[in-house]
Structure 1
Amino acid sequence: MTSLPDPGLSHVIGDRTVPLIEETVGDMLARVARTWPGQPALIVPPQCVRMDYAGLDAAVDRLAAGLLALGLAPGDRIGIWSLNRAEWVLMQFAAPRAGLILVNINPAYRTHELAFALRHVGCKALVLPRRFKTSDYIGMLRELAPELDTCVPGKLHAAALPELRHVLVMGDGEAVPGTHAFGAIATCGDAAALARMRAVASTLSPHDAVNIQFTSGTTGAPKGATLTHRNIVNNGFFIGEAMRLTEQDKLCIPVPFYHCFGMVLGNLACVTHGACMVIPGEGFDPLVTLQTVQDERCTGLHGVPTMFIAELEHPRFSEFDLSSLRTGIMAGSNCPIEVMKRVVEVMHMSEVTITYGMTETSPASFQTTPDDPLDRRVDSVGRVHPHVEVKIVDAEGRTVPRGVTGELCTRGYSVMQGYWEEPARTAEAIDAEGWMHTGDLATIDAEGYCRIVGRVKDMLIRGGENIYPREVEEFLYTHPAIADVQVFGVPDAKFGEEACAWIRLADGATCDADQIRAYCQGRIAHYKIPRYIRFVDSFPMTVTGKVQKFLMRQAMLEEFKRAQGGG
């Protein structure tokens, strides 16, 4: 038996009453399809796609067989470089059923980053759309592999991409030289191919690698977090459990699939419960999302805080009937308390949850539940997930008392296999006892609720005083003129570091820096009051809605340089 940790220390172990699922992704889908064959599984209005679970399972069978018929073999890596489409969902389930490892490639990547990703994991195949808005995906691939135009489909030999053989193109239109039409792959899945696919599926283990997701790479070259069937099936299941999903639910998923938010917290949370995945469009559009929730009577909605802010602030927001909503997840970056309250009150999402995690942990480690009091659902990321163990440690690796800030470490079924073919970087992140060191600063209180207070590298020290940007941001959100705010540290000759706040004002609001500082006086410690305050229209962000504070810091350093040290 597992001994219980000291209740006075920041060390918690998740409930183990419900056993882990010991199935592959493909077997899990097949079981769900047998259980709820006629329930809606996938709705993609822009593509006029509507599938029930029996239809989805059959389509995945054909596609998986077709991939093997191309000559791909179990263990091969197949990249997908695309925004949200029905084909993405089919690939998410077909690749694992064929024993292939799906490699999620950020659709914002351009030629240099794409080449790195494909070469780093040795992709044998790549799935991509022709284009999206101004992004010409085929054109970018041709820049890297001009041999595409003269090769036979499936016989690509590009000097820059030595392992890539197959290119699968989504969508309708004229054939692209050297590529396969995505829709034609399933037709390769004849009886012999289906028999081979089933034979392959029978040899797969839940412990096999099934997915590679690249970390952001803000501190170096991106790393390929390698996840297993067991990692993502169970994480998706327990996420859905916390949301109380059933086969009657429809979840609107505007967050990107290439990221674990869309793929695991969205798609796998749905499929493990027989719920319906509703895809409003390829990229996020607040108006389209609101329209989709209304038209499809969605019961759940996912988003990062900036997405919810965009929906709430849309001039046509009040026109939409969102009364079908009850649940969803707000995650991906700091979740402002005031925004959370509005989502509950005016979007009818009384059971909305907050989730904390990271790509390397499949991703969720903590989540709030509908049973948590509202104040705990807005001031924490909830309590530890089932079958997950977490401790908060100090700089020497000692577990700190409850309520004390330290680095969050986690272990259990959800921790990745490692970074693809990078044992040294894996060893830096996962210690000999299996603890994943997240780099996040957190506290765990007496009731087991966790608060994320920043990143180890984001914490700033002003004259010997620790400042946690998240704490200052949460305070500034209470100012009625502030719609969004980001706080970070900048160098200072006297104090070592000073706090800087970038502020986006609410529509129609006016305010200046002196008024902001006056609002802080007497309410937060003097050393936490930002010395530098800038008003902006937007923040630099990744496509998943994560704010890139390092770019803000760079912009301030350039400003200081121009002013020769002034601020």
Structure 2
Amino acid sequence: MTSAHVNQQGPPDQLEPVTIAQLTRYAARKYGDREALVDDEVRWTFAELGEETAAAARAAIAHGVRHGDRIAVWAPNSRQWITAVLGAVSVGAVLVPLNTRYKAAEAADIVRRSGARWLFAARGFLGCDYDTMLLDSGEDLGRLSGTVVLRDDGGPSSERSGAGHPASVAYRDYLASGREVTDAELAARTEAVDPDDLADILFTSGTTGRPKGVPATHGQTLRVFGAWSRLVTLREGDRYLLVNPFFHTFGYKAGILACLLRGVTMLPEPVYDTDRVLRRMAAESVSVLMGPPTVFHGLIHHPDRDRHLLTALRLAGTGAASVPAELVRDIREELGAPDVFTAYGLTESGGVVTVCPTGADARTLAHTVGLPLPGTELRIVDPAGDPVRTGEPGEVVVRGYHVMRGYLDDPAATAQAVDADGWLHTGDVGVLDDRGFLAITDRIKDMYVVGGFNTYPAEVEQVLRGHPDIADIAVVGAPDERLGEIGVAFVVPVRGAAPDPGELTAWTRERLANFKVPRRYHLLPELPRNAGGKILKGELRRTARKGASGA
């Protein structure tokens, strides 16, 4: 018996929409007066959300957004993010979300390479005016022709235009511009969107450290998350606290899109704060919470947790890092959520590959990531690409409708990731058991996950190599109770130098998002290498796990 498994659990509901252009209308018809969204003082029904999204779609048409245009969004979770994106995508635009922790140079690189024509940005979020940061960066912004300020939480701020900057408009004015767009124009544009059209391009770094764009179609996306939402038991009437950022697949697709498919109330959170989350979970009778292990660890160990009534919580989803069996038991016993699931996926696979059933025992949930999605082929293969026996480790490869067709404008990287037979080579080491459940045991790639965010050592190493006191550098991930994993840097100093960890942290933080900054530094006379000169990162990981002493 070889390690291959196909999970067929029946076709998706044929009545569900096949494009995101149809999604809010579908939700408005099916769920009508049920509460769809709660954000600050605003409460919308699904019917009202449909109207707000239609207004944003009209505005996109009025501003000249064409079918296939790319729109970048650099803003935290909010109702404006939801309506602006759904409106633009429903008339054929392609979403390009930007991580709110990016620096201007990181964001500009994606804006330029994606060919984004419009930027939707926030001001005053964590002290950042994202549009100003980008426009004043001096970076090449490619085809960018205009910006829309979705939300300004920093007080009065002048509109930006001229002086070489793309025109800027406030979201209220953007919406007002669409009032003259007719119903017929709107219907024609939404009906022109096809399931095979691109819906979004999510950028994910590779082992080279250069972000790569992963395009996904309307049909792929809705089919994946229709299946996912059924498997995790998301259901009409649930109230879902959206703490995962919308720029991530988990926040946008397993959040916004899944809620619209299933009739679930969305409660967006711009920043994860345990105190606020506890208060909101109690006040809004939250029944669904999903996030990396750090989210649940923080809630379980919060000193004031018992002061908040969390009895409505029924469904908890986690993953993105190793999950201790004790955490699963604590979610069920301490937080009172009977239904817990874990899952596994990659941006290149549409965000999902497997789901572990909510009723599985704690050990299964902790040590496996479950079964493949319906219609997904999964194999464990040796270096030659041949399937290994059940229970033996090898690389996880995946084939199915949701596997990307290729990286954006990068055929060489595509050929490395997806073979001629359509198998996506994940770079992860896994094992299949007799039930067909997958366990992820290691990574061929060096990527690690900090608080739910993928971090790639090559990118961090490139930045640290620019420090004048560093001769050589290697970064690895190490387990962390709170964040799942953290970065640990092994530094070979320039002769006569003794770089200070605080200085290295400041250097890196100025150039990269905070989650990418290593938490520990160790000084070494040289990095361990094999006979071929390759750094022995396995040895460094073992040292990092032991918390070896150093700088």
TM-score, with normalisation over the residues of structure 2?
0.79
Cα separation, 2, equivalents of 1:165 and 1:193? 25
1:447 aligns with 2:435: yes
Indicate the residue corresponding to 1:36 in structure 2: 31
Indicate the residue corresponding to 1:423 in structure 2: 411
The one-letter code of the counterpart of 2:98 is I
Q: Could you give the per-residue CA deviations for residues 292-349 of structure 1, whole angstroms, max 9, x where no partner exists?
A: 1111101110111112112222221221111100103112222222222211111111
1:414 aligns with 2:409: no
- Which of 2, 23, 43 is 1:9 aligned to? 2
In the alignment, is the contact (CA less than 8 A) between 1:341 and 1:378 conserved in 2?
Answer: no
Indicate the residue corresponding to 1:89 in structure 2: 82
Cα separation, 1, equivalents of 2:232 and 2:158? 43
In the alignment, is the contact (CA less than 8 A) between 2:294 and 2:482 conserved in 1?
Answer: no
In the alignment, is the contact (CA less than 8 A) between 1:235 and 1:414 conserved in 2?
Answer: yes
Indicate the residue corresponding to 2:541 in structure 1: none
Indicate the residue corresponding to 1:141 in structure 2: 134
Displacement of 1:247: 1.5
- Which of 160, 171, 175 is 1:177 aligned to? 160
Indicate the residue corresponding to 1:377 in structure 2: 365
Indicate the residue corresponding to 2:486 in structure 1: none
Displacement of 1:184: 2.1
Cα separation, 2, equivalents of 1:209 and 1:181? 27
- Which of 209, 217, 220 is 1:228 aligned to? 217
Cα separation, 2, equivalents of 1:240 and 1:271? 11
Cα separation, 2, equivalents of 1:266 and 1:500? 28
Aligned partner of residue 72 in structure 2, secondary structure? strand
Displacement of 1:447: 0.4
Cα separation, 1, equivalents of 2:244 and 2:302? 18
Indicate the residue corresponding to 2:141 in structure 1: 161
Aligned partner of residue 84 in structure 2, secondary structure? helix
Aligned partner of residue 215 in structure 1, secondary structure? strand
Displacement of 1:36: 0.9
Change (3 A) 1:504 1:201: closer
Indicate the residue corresponding to 1:462 in structure 2: none
Indicate the residue corresponding to 1:64 in structure 2: 57
Displacement of 1:454: 1.5
Cα separation, 2, equivalents of 1:163 and 1:547? 29
Cα separation, 1, equivalents of 2:10 and 2:302? 43
Displacement of 1:41: 1.0
Cα separation, 2, equivalents of 1:102 and 1:547? 24
Indicate the residue corresponding to 1:73 in structure 2: 66
In the alignment, is the contact (CA less than 8 A) between 1:264 and 1:362 conserved in 2?
Answer: no
Indicate the residue corresponding to 2:535 in structure 1: none
1:353 aligns with 2:341: yes
The one-letter code of the counterpart of 2:242 is I
1:27 aligns with 2:16: no
Indicate the residue corresponding to 2:203 in structure 1: 214
More deviation, 10-19/356-365: 10-19
Change (3 A) 1:240 1:560: farther
Change (3 A) 1:104 1:138: closer
Indicate the residue corresponding to 1:247 in structure 2: 236
In the alignment, is the contact (CA less than 8 A) between 1:390 and 1:409 conserved in 2?
Answer: yes
Q: Unaligned stretches of 5+ in structure 2? A: 162-167, 450-456, 458-473, 484-504, 528-547
Q: Could you give the per-residue CA deviations for residues 460-502 of structure 1, whole angstroms, max 9, x where no partner exists?
A: xxxxxxxxx99xxxxxxxxxxxxxxxxx9xxxxxxxx9x9966
Displacement of 1:566: 9.0
Indicate the residue corresponding to 1:474 in structure 2: none
Once the two structures are superposed, the pairs formed by residues 288-307 of structure 1 within 5 Å of their partners are: 288-307=276-295
Change (3 A) 1:504 1:277: closer
Give the CA RMSD over aligned residues: 3.0
Q: Could you give the per-residue CA deviations for residues 355-397 of structure 1, whole angstroms, max 9, x where no partner exists?
A: 1101111111111122323332222111111121111111110
Cα separation, 2, equivalents of 1:291 and 1:504? 24
1:125 aligns with 2:122: no
Change (3 A) 1:359 1:423: same
Indicate the residue corresponding to 1:261 in structure 2: 250
Change (3 A) 1:376 1:504: closer
| Percent identical | 29
In the alignment, is the contact (CA less than 8 A) between 2:27 and 2:260 conserved in 1?
Answer: yes
Change (3 A) 1:387 1:180: same
Aligned partner of residue 205 in structure 1, secondary structure? coil
Once the two structures are superposed, the pairs formed by residues 263-278 of structure 1 within 5 Å of their partners are: 263-278=252-267
Cα separation, 2, equivalents of 1:15 and 1:352? 22
Change (3 A) 1:552 1:167: same
The one-letter code of the counterpart of 1:31 is Y
Cα separation, 2, equivalents of 1:290 and 1:273? 24
Cα separation, 2, equivalents of 1:547 and 1:192? 43
Q: Could you give the per-residue CA deviations for residues 64-85 of structure 1, whole angstroms, max 9, x where no partner exists?
A: 1111110110100000011111
Aligned partner of residue 211 in structure 2, secondary structure? coil
Q: Could you give the per-residue CA deviations for residues 10-48 of structure 1, whole angstroms, max 9, x where no partner exists?
A: 11112141237661012132112101111111112xx32
Once the two structures are superposed, the pairs formed by residues 307-318 of structure 1 within 5 Å of their partners are: 307-318=295-306
In the alignment, is the contact (CA less than 8 A) between 2:148 and 2:171 conserved in 1?
Answer: yes
Cα separation, 2, equivalents of 1:109 and 1:209? 24
Cα separation, 2, equivalents of 1:375 and 1:505? 20
Q: Could you give the per-residue CA deviations for residues 196-217 of structure 1, whole angstroms, max 9, x where no partner exists?
A: 2211111111111111111034
The one-letter code of the counterpart of 1:292 is R
The one-letter code of the counterpart of 2:160 is P
In the alignment, is the contact (CA less than 8 A) between 1:332 and 1:546 conserved in 2?
Answer: no
Displacement of 1:191: 4.7
The one-letter code of the counterpart of 1:234 is R
Cα separation, 1, equivalents of 2:238 and 2:549? 55
Q: Unaligned stretches of 5+ in structure 1? A: 1-7, 146-158, 460-468, 471-487, 489-496, 507-537
Indicate the residue corresponding to 2:534 in structure 1: none
In the alignment, is the contact (CA less than 8 A) between 1:354 and 1:381 conserved in 2?
Answer: yes
The one-letter code of the counterpart of 1:222 is P
